[in-house]
Amino acid sequence: MKKSRFVPAAGLWSLCLLLASSAVFAEIPSHPAPVSAPCVAHRGFSSQFPENTLASMKGGIDVGASGNEMDIYRSSDGVVFLMHDGSLKRYTGENIRATDLTMEELAKRDVGSHKGAQFKGEPVPTFDDAIKMHVGTKTVPVVEIKQENIEADTLKILEKYDMVDKCVVIAFSANVCKKMRELNKDIFIAWLCTQKKGESWEAYCDRIISVCSDCRVNAVDMAHNGVTPDVVKRLNAAGLTVFCWTVNDAKRMKECLDAGVASVTTDCPDVLLKVMAERK
């Protein structure tokens, strides 16, 4: 009599799960090492300079921030530029979508005067110029992609200045995160998120882990009001580095650092650097 090859149902089910899990994990690349940026200047040193300008980026570098966060879109003629809002309304008073203008038209806009007369004439900068400013400094670009389908253009500029392994890419769009990972397996990416109303911290963590796993990203950059020691511990255990934004109160900065976050984004990097120095 031949030896039976029958596998009990329970055993077969376990085997299927094992094979399925192996197939899934085989598709997930090893994550790049985290980029160190414990103090990130939000839109540059935005409490002192007009946000997302070369002046604010230089301010972040000069104050000693380890990262400069910047927001990017693409102009109508295909040039990637810095700006947070999709409209010029808050900066120039014009109810115009920035992406409808050419880079030449954007560069003529004064986006400094709204911050103060001393910044009159500060133009909308190109992403190229902003990245070039960071080459050779100790301040890494933290690049928030605000618009879908500009991922390849973004990567091209980072590659041009050999900054792929010296930057962090962040986005609220899971599609953007996923596309950037498809384009480059080595770039450090963090998914931006906030806790939904009524969502438990356990469910929040589960959602973060699910999205980050699907996008194959390295980290989460979460609104600081969702940061607690339990949340950070849970996410770290899942292999995720935790960043948080935007914290301008010194007491809350300390609480987030004590909770274990690897990075805090702030409009006031001078205050955060002081808090960090006092914790040593």
Q: Are 252 and 268 in contact (CB under 8 A)?
A: no
The structural domain count of the chain equals 1
pLDDT in tens, the chain (280 residues): 333 343 444 444 334 433 433 333 333 345 688 899 999 999 999 999 999 999 999 999 999 999 999 999 999 999 999 999 999 999 999 999 999 999 999 999 999 999 999 999 999 999 999 999 999 999 999 999 999 999 999 999 999 999 999 999 999 999 999 999 999 999 999 999 999 999 999 999 999 999 999 999 989 999 999 999 999 999 999 999 999 999 999 999 999 999 999 999 999 999 999 999 999 8
Does 81 reside within a domain?
yes
Instruction: Give the CATH number, domain containing residue 150.
Output: 3.20.20.190
153 with 128: CB under 8 angstroms?
Answer: no
* SS3 category, 13: helix
In a domain, 119, yes or no: yes
Q: Is residue 18 part of a domain?
A: no
Task: Indicate the angle between helix axes 151-160 and 174-183, nearest 10 degrees.
Answer: 50
Domain membership of residue 3 (yes or no) is: no
Instruction: Kindly state whether residue 118 falls inside one of the protein's structural domains.
Output: yes
Domain span at residue 240 reads 36-279
Q: Confirm whether 84 is domain-assigned.
A: yes
Task: State both tokens at 149.
Answer: 């389908």
